[in-house]
Amino acid sequence: MNSSVSQGVLQSSAILLTIQLFQKSLGFISTLILARLLVPEHFGIVAMVMICLMLFENIADAGNQHYIIQKQQLDDEDLHTAWSLELLTKLLMFCLILLLAPLLASFFSMPELTSALMIASLVLPIKALQNPALLLFAKQLNYRPVFRLSLLQKLLSFIVTVGLAYLYPSHWPVIIGALVSALSFTLGSYAISHFRPRFSLARFRQQWGFSKWLMLRGLIGFARYQADNLIVSKRFSTADLGGYHLLRELTLLPAIAVIVPCSQPLQAAIADQRDKADLLSYRTRMSLLLLLLVLIPITTFLLAYPSLIVTTLLGAQWSEYGVLLAPFALFFITFCIFDLISNAFLAIGKSRLLFWFDVVSTLVVIAVLLLLVTGSLLEMAWLRGWLSVLTTLALLWLLQQATRFNLLRLLWLCLPYLLFAVLAYLLSQATGLLVDAAPLWLLFSHAVVFFSSYSLCCLLYTWLVKHRVPELEHQTEVVLQLSQKLRKNRQAL
C-alpha cells in the first residue's frame, strides 16, 4: 500500500473502532444486566419486535448516507431531498406496521406482539427526523461530534432500560429504552449542527435512481440474516426464540462492534489498485490474512467453552441455551469474512455479481432451513452455522476467480495461527484442571491463558519469520500504526 492510502485506511479504522468500542461496550453491559433481570420469554417478544422493525426499516432504507458520500457535487437541496425521502418512507412503514401488527401477532402466536410492535414502531419516524447534517459529517470523516452524541444517547438509553427492567421486569423496558435512544439522538443531531432541513423532493429522481438497488439488496441481506430467526419464531416457543436470538446477537457483537468497522476501510486499499493485477491480488490476500489473525482465536475460544461462557455471563436461567454458542461461533467468523469479501467485490466493481450471489445464496439458505430443520433448536443453530460456512467459501472462491489472490497461499499463511489457537486451547485446558474456582474465575483464567498464549506465539512467530514472508512484515507495520492511531484518537475524543 502506498503511504497515503495506508494512512487513510488506518485513520478511518482507528476512529471507527474507537467509536464502536464506546458504543458497544455499553450495549454489551446492558445486555448482560438485562439477561439477569428478564427471562427468555421477554427476550423472545423483544426479538420478534426487533426483527419486524428491521424488516420494515430495510424496506424504507433509501441509502441516504451512501448517496451523499459518493456524490461529488453536493448542495443543500441534496440534503433536503435525502431528509424528505427518508421521512416519507419511514412514515409509510410506520402506518403499515400499525395496520399489520395484529396480523403478525396472530401469525406468530404472540398476543403481546400487537401493542409492543405498535409502540416500538414510533422509532421509525423519530429516526427519520434526524438532522441530515449527520450525513455531511460522515462524508467529511468528522466523527467526533457524532461520537459524543452517541455516547450521550447510549448512556440515557442504558439508564432508562436497566432502571425500568429492575422495577418492572418485562419486554417494555427494552422497547422504551429504544424509543429514548432514538429520540435523544434525533434531538441531539440538531444541537450539534446549525443546518435545518426543509421538505423538498427537488433531487428525488437522482437519489431514487441510486437508492432503489440498495434497498433491494438490503431486503435480500435481511432475508439471509434473519431467516433462521423467523423460522425459530414460527416453529419453537417464545422462550426458545429469546434464547436463540440473544445468543446469536451476543456472538456477533464483537463482529459488529469492532471487526467489521475496522475491515471496511480496507475496501479503499483494494480499490486503489483494482487495475493492477499483482497489487490487487496481494492487497486482497493481505486484508483477509489480517482479518483471520483476529478471528481464529476468538472463534476457537467460543467453540471451546460455550456453556461456561453463557452460564457465567448471562446466568443459570440461560444454561440450557449455552450449547448454541458453539455453532454460532461458525456464524461469527463467516459473518466477518463475508462482509470483507463483499466489500472487496464492490471495490473492484463487481456489484452485479455480488447481487446475484446474494439472491441465489439467500434462496438456498432459506430452502435448506425449511426442508431440513426438525424439532431441535441446536440442530437449527448448527445447520445455520454450516450454511454460512458454505456460502462464505463459495463467495471466497468467486473472489479468487476475480482477483487471483492465491487462496492456497492464504491457507498456508493461516495454518500457523490455527496451530497456535489449538496450542492455546490445550494450555488453557491444562490450567483449568489446576484451578478449582467459581465459574467467573474459571472463565477468566481460561481466557487469560488462551489469549496470552496465542498472542505470545504470534509475536514469536512473526519475529522469527517476518523478513522471509512479506505479508507478515507488512502486517506488523499495519498493526503498529493502527495502535498508534488508536491512542491518538482516544486522547482527542
pLDDT score for 148: 78
Give the helix/strand (H/E) hosting 11: helix 3-37
Give the model confidence (pLDDT) of 455-478 as tens digits: 999 889 888 887 777 777 666 665
- Dist. CA 40–CA 38, nearest whole Å: 7
Taking 70 as the threshold, does the pLDDT of residue 269 lie above it? no
Taking 90 as the threshold, does the pLDDT of residue 259 lie above it? no
Residues above pLDDT 90, as percent of the chain: 30
Backbone angles phi, psi at 170, to 5 degrees: -170, -170
pLDDT score for 99: 94
Average of pLDDT values for 332-344? 85
pLDDT score for 409: 86
Give the model confidence (pLDDT) of 162-188 as tens digits: 999 999 999 999 999 999 999 999 999
- Dist. CA 49–CA 43, nearest whole Å: 10
pLDDT score for 5: 44
Residues above pLDDT 70, as percent of the chain: 78
Taking 80 as the threshold, does the pLDDT of residue 89 lie above it? yes
pLDDT score for 136: 73
pLDDT mean across residues, the chain: 81
Residue 344 — very low, low, confident or very high, per pLDDT cuts 50/70/90?
confident
Q: Is 282 left (phi over 0), alpha (psi -120 to 50) or beta?
A: alpha
Indicate the range of 227-241, 264-278, 410-424 predicted with least confidence.
264-278
Q: Would you call 307 exposed, middle or buried from its count of C-beta atoms within 10 A (0-12, 13-18, 19+)?
A: middle
Residue 487 — very low, low, confident or very high, per pLDDT cuts 50/70/90?
low
Top-confidence residue, 311 or 7: 311
Indicate the range of 76-85, 115-124, 324-333 predicted with least confidence.
76-85
pLDDT score for 6: 46
Average of pLDDT values for 343-361? 80
Residue 480 — very low, low, confident or very high, per pLDDT cuts 50/70/90?
low
Top-confidence residue, 243 or 468: 243
Average of pLDDT values for 319-330? 92
Residue 212 — very low, low, confident or very high, per pLDDT cuts 50/70/90?
low
Average of pLDDT values for 107-124? 92
Residue 453 — very low, low, confident or very high, per pLDDT cuts 50/70/90?
very high
pLDDT score for 3: 46
Closest CA to 77 of 211, 203, 208, 195: 203
- Dist. CA 240–CA 320, nearest whole Å: 10
pLDDT score for 1: 46
Residue 132 — very low, low, confident or very high, per pLDDT cuts 50/70/90?
confident
Taking 60 as the threshold, does the pLDDT of residue 485 lie above it? no
Length of the chain: 493
Top-confidence residue, 209 or 38: 38
Average of pLDDT values for 256-279? 58
User: DSSP characters for 386-449?
Assistant: HHHHHHHHHHHHHHHHHH---HHHHHHHHHHHHHHHHHHHHHHHHHHHH----HHHHHHHHHHH
Give the model confidence (pLDDT) of 272-298 as tens digits: 555 566 666 777 787 788 888 889 999
Top-confidence residue, 375 or 187: 187
Residue 387 — very low, low, confident or very high, per pLDDT cuts 50/70/90?
very high
Taking 70 as the threshold, does the pLDDT of residue 433 lie above it? no
Contact 9, 77 (CB under 8 A): no
